[in-house]
Amino acid sequence: MNMIKHYTKYIETLGADEELIETYKNLRQAFQREGWSEKDLERPPYYPQDIMRNFQRFSSLHSKLFQELKSFFPDIDHNEFVDYLSGKLQIIDSETPLQNGSKKRRDNRDEDY
DSSP per-residue codes, the chain = --PPPHHHHHHHHHTTTHHHHHHHHHHHHHHHHHT-BHHHHHS-S---HHHHHHHHHHHHHHHHHHHHHHHH-TT--HHHHHHHHHHHHHHHHHHSPPBSS-SS----S-TT-
Non-local (6+) Cβ contacts of 62 within 8 A are 20, 85
pLDDT given at position 104: 55
- pTM of the entire predicted model: 0.84
Phi-psi region of 93 (alpha: psi -120 to 50; beta: other; left: phi over 0): alpha
pLDDT given at position 2: 46
pLDDT given at position 100: 82
> CA 63 from chain center: how many Å?
12
pLDDT given at position 102: 57
pLDDT given at position 5: 86
Query: What are the residue ranges spanned by the domains of the chain?
Result: 15-95
Integer Cα distance of 5 and 55 in angstroms: 28
Per-residue pLDDT tens for 53-84?
999 999 999 999 999 999 999 999 999 999 99
Q: What is the pLDDT along the chain (113 residues), one digit of tens a residue?
A: 345 689 999 999 999 999 999 999 999 999 999 999 999 999 999 999 999 999 999 999 999 999 999 999 999 999 999 999 999 999 999 999 998 865 554 545 444 44
